[in-house]
Structure formats: C-alpha cells, structure tokens
Structure 1
C-alpha cells in the first residue's frame, strides 16, 4: 500500500499516529469513534507553516504600518508600532504575542472584509521570508499537509485554531492545507455592517474582538465547534490549553507538539522565543501525555519544494 505519510521518517511517532487512526476507524473495535466525533485541531503559526523569526501576519503588518502611522500618529506611543516603524525586529520579537499582533489587527481597520482579503492575497502572492528566501506560502510544512490529508481520508474533520487573524489565515488555508474558510478559527477584530450604494458590506473595526491564544482557544473551540476535539497539534505554550482540553475528553485521544530543533533546514527554538515560547509544554509533555515530534528526526523533508 502507498505510504500516506512519506515525508515522515519511520519511527515511534509515525507508527503511533497510524496506529491511532487505525484503531479509531475500525468498526467493531474497542476504540472505534463515529465520524461525527472525529475532530482534529491544528495551530497554524509554527505548526503548519514557518513562524520564525516572526509570524507571517506580523510581516504583513510591517508592510502596511507606515501608512497607518501617518493616519494616526499617536500609535507611535505603543511599543509594537514604534518597533515596526523602526524595523526593529529584535524589539518586536521581545514583546508578548498579543502586543506584537496589535499592529497586524489595526492595519485591518476601516477595510471591508473583501478589501482585506484582496490586500492579503496580493501581498502573499509576492512576499518572501527574509532568510529562507522563498515565498511565505512556500513555508507550509509538507509533512503536516500529508497528515491533514491522511486524517481527512479517514473521516476526520480538520480545523485550524490559531492566534493569527482569522481573515488572514482564511486567505490561504484551503490552498495550503485543504481546510476551507469555515473551518478556520482565529483572532478577530470587531466588525459592523454598513450599507454602501444600497448594498450591505461588512467592515472591520480597530477594536480587538477575540485574541485566540491560550485558554481563549478552548473558549472558541466550544463556541464554534460544539464538540471536543480528539486530536490536537500545536507547537507552543499558546496551544497548551487546547491540547489539554483535547486530552481531557473520554475515549481515545492524541495530541502532539512540533519541536523546532532543526537549525539546518528551518530553525531551532523553543523556550527563548518570546513570541511563541515552548516552556511549560516542553517541561510537562510527558506528564500530560503529549507527544513530541522532532522536526529534525521525524521529518525527512520540511517544505514541499
């Protein structure tokens, strides 16, 4: 039979994933799970595509924040905006994730949803990672796309649950991961409906609605899915609440952390990456029953190219 996970090296982790899927999909078996309950949730930044040295959406905000600052000079009083305008990536990376993302959400303000999607699509079609020298969209991880396809082929419904902006991720989710927009949960700004030339349009506001990180991921899963996931994959402490919520349910459960330990093919980081640190999860993975996938040892390739 054709290997559904060819970018994964043979070993304990690959075998565990395949065994789990086989067990929960074998009718009549003790661990069989109906299709309706086969829910898998994945973080995006650092789990499905490259997030280092900063998340893709923060780079997108960098390209737009100068115009925003001219329109609202008082924004310069905020550390994240000042760091962006100064192109001070070190200062930006030292900020808490929510503060670093604030300019990314503010640059949406005033746009209709359709205008924002068009702007993000245009930028993503051309923007490149500063050191990998490839399009940001080429930073999606080939082994994870295989895993998503494998889960779906076995009756799983796959969701993205991300701290990134929901509209930004929806622009690329179907193209990169085969996940439709309605199966993307993320951070959001508040919006309002306006009538323009007799037609209703949805316009984004500067006010943050939900920052989908840590415990808020669990809240939004309950709000938007209505079911507890049985499979979860993340890469940082921001995903720990989602992972523990997944593992706390009844019946067979599985959860993984992707450990960035491959400085040669991607980047090596965990505890010291302030924008997306992996400290508590790394320290307690075994205690909580979370598997660790080593990018260096478990994947024979990282990117599709």
Structure 2
C-alpha cells in the first residue's frame, strides 16, 4: 500500500492556515460578552501594546492605572442607586425634622419621584447626603448601606442592584487586572456608599474607590476615637473634580479610563487620560439599548462630541454587547 507523505510538503499549507486565524482566537476569549468588532479589538490591541515589552506602546506595570466611573458605566443608573438609598435616608431624617418634608428636593424624594432621582446630578445628590449623613461615623454609614443592599430591588427590573452590574464591564475589569492593571472607581457617588459593595461586585477593594465626600472631623469619643461626617461637602468627584480626585488619591494619571453619556460628568476624566505624553485609552459607554436596558442621551451630546474630537472609543450597548447583565434574559 502506498504511504502518503506528511511532513515538510504540508508545512506551507499549515502555516498559511495558522496565520489566517486571528491570534485572539487561539486563546480563550477574554471578553466573551463583547461582540467581535472594532471596539472590542481596540481594547485588546491596547492591552497587548501596553504589555509587550520593548514595544512602542509598552507601559510599566506600576503605571497601568485604569479608572472607571460607576453609575451608568459599571452598573445601571436609572435610577441612580445612591438616590434610591437616599430616599430611605430622607424618610428617617423627616422623622427627626418634619419641616424637611415641605422643602425641595426632600419633598419630591419623599413622594417617590423616580424621574427626579434619575435626573439628579451628583452635586444635588451630595447635598442630600450632607443633610442626612451629618454626625454619622463611617461604620454607621456602612451598616445602613449594607442593610439597603440586602433588601432593595430595582423598581423596573425587580432584582437587587448588585445584580445589575454590566457583564461586559466585569469582564473588562478582570481582563485588565489579569494584565497587571490597577482598577479604580472614580465616580461622583459617595465614597462610603460605593465602598460597601465595590469589592464583592467588581473586585475593586475599598481603598481603590474615589468618590464625593463630606468633610469629617476627629471625635475622641470618650476614649473611643472615631471620625464623624459634617454637613459640609469636602469634594464633589464629578466633571472637573474627577482629575483632581484621581491626583489626590492615586498620584498618577490613568492610562485607561471609562465613563458614559449622561450629564457630561466623565468628560474631563477621559480628556485627562487621553491627552498625555503617552496617549491613554478613553472608553465612553453610549446608552442606546432601550430593549435590554435604557436609551438616553445628553441634551447637547457633549460627551459624544468630546469623544469625536478626542478620538475616544465609543461603545454602543446595542451593537457592541452580546448581553448586558450577568443573568441572561434580563
């Protein structure tokens, strides 16, 4: 019987087949909830350049800082989760001071105005925080926040808020960390509030959460010293306040940052990341999927315009994400 030769003659064909397969397909897909396309590929290309030693885009591990907005970027923001939490806080405050029930925005919050909660910007939310959190210690605030997360459900989707983190963004966080990036939250929400769930939800430890804060003071507490929040804002980590907060907490400019379209709150952070001696990667989430989540835009499209001018990568939730939430069918 004639034997078929296998060996060197077959190598050109085998090599051609190998080269025709994208390198990404040779390994497990690091972003399985992302549709294949230019957005997904641009993320992978950036990470590959950043981690290829001696390459032109190499970034030393100590400089691989990635910052993420929270509401609307890592999880849903209709309504803003801390706004829902503040509703419970306002109810408790009114029990102590009934006059608050006649003042705005307390009155609208008490009436369960979800539209108002959804439209409130970070400074308005933080003003409510100042009115409801003054005098409390971080431990007291943490206990209240944990109690909220144990029972609260999204008014439309009917599941705990912590189940509404975006599956594609959870994968992105893990992918970056697997490649030596530090992942930080830089959000306009309250630092204390986000720290309660950041590690379990995103794998981001509490010390890597930057948010808006009240001023605080040291209280000796009769031999048991504590910190207490005051009814005064210390830092609002929104818009131009985000780069300030990043510098104060990290001391390095991010090389990767992600935000979303809503009120222009992430523009300055994304500009700060993109425009530097070593160009960073700026990612903007566009909420354009009314069927699986929500569809909304800014009135002036400021974030999308800034993305076009700055060369940022824009994510279409409808086109670029295979699924939005970890549990299919939501």
Distance 1:91 1:40 in 2: 31
Aligned to 1:299: 321
Shift in CA distance, 121/95, structure 1 to aligned 2, threshold 3 Å:
closer
Deviation per residue, 1:221-252 (Å, 9 max, x gap): 11111111111100031000000011111124
Query: Is residue 84–residue 117 contact of structure 2 (8 Å, CA) maintained in 1?
Result: no
Q: State which drifts further: 2-11 or 62-71.
A: 62-71
Distance 1:130 1:302 in 2: 18
Query: Is residue 57–residue 104 contact of structure 1 (8 Å, CA) maintained in 2?
Result: no
Aligned to 1:167: 192
Distance 2:58 2:109 in 1: 50
How far off its partner does 1:77 sit? 5.5
Q: State which drifts further: 201-210 or 174-183.
A: 201-210
**2:261 equivalent to 1:238:** no
Which is bigger in relative contact order (C-alpha 8 A, separation at least 6)?
1
Aligned partner (choices 249, 261, 275) of residue 224 of structure 1: 249
| DSSP 3-state at the match of 2:220 | strand
Query: What is the TM-score of this pair, normalised by structure 1?
Result: 0.94
How far off its partner does 1:264 sit? 1.1
Deviation per residue, 1:250-305 (Å, 9 max, x gap): 12411011011111111111125xxxxx7211123111111110111111111111
How far off its partner does 1:197 sit? 4.5
Shift in CA distance, 214/78, structure 1 to aligned 2, threshold 3 Å:
farther
How far off its partner does 1:107 sit? 2.2
How far off its partner does 1:94 sit? 4.6
Deviation per residue, 1:128-159 (Å, 9 max, x gap): 00001110111111110110110011111111
**2:311 equivalent to 1:284:** no
How far off its partner does 1:4 sit? 0.8
| DSSP 3-state at the match of 1:223 | helix
Distance 1:185 1:298 in 2: 28
Distance 1:184 1:8 in 2: 25
Query: Is residue 80–residue 100 contact of structure 1 (8 Å, CA) maintained in 2?
Result: no
Aligned to 1:249: 276
| DSSP 3-state at the match of 2:112 | coil
Query: What is the aligned residue count?
Result: 299
RMSD of aligned alpha carbons: 1.6
Distance 1:30 1:75 in 2: 59
Aligned to 1:3: 29
How far off its partner does 1:76 sit? 4.2
Q: How does 1:33-112 map to 2 (within 5 A)?
A: 33-52=59-78, 54-76=79-101, 78-112=103-137
How far off its partner does 1:188 sit? 0.5
**2:240 equivalent to 1:209:** no
| DSSP 3-state at the match of 2:134 | coil
Q: State which drifts further: 221-230 or 193-202.
A: 193-202
Aligned to 2:183: 158
Aligned to 1:143: 168
Distance 2:134 2:36 in 1: 47
How far off its partner does 1:38 sit? 0.7
Query: Is residue 83–residue 117 contact of structure 2 (8 Å, CA) maintained in 1?
Result: no
Distance 1:284 1:192 in 2: 39
Distance 1:130 1:110 in 2: 30
Q: State which drifts further: 159-168 or 200-209.
A: 200-209
Structure 1 residue ranges without an equivalent (≥5): 273-277
Distance 2:306 2:276 in 1: 19
Structure 2 residue ranges without an equivalent (≥5): 1-26
Query: What is the TM-score of this pair, normalised by structure 2?
Result: 0.87
Q: State which drifts further: 136-145 or 72-81.
A: 72-81
Distance 1:157 1:78 in 2: 43
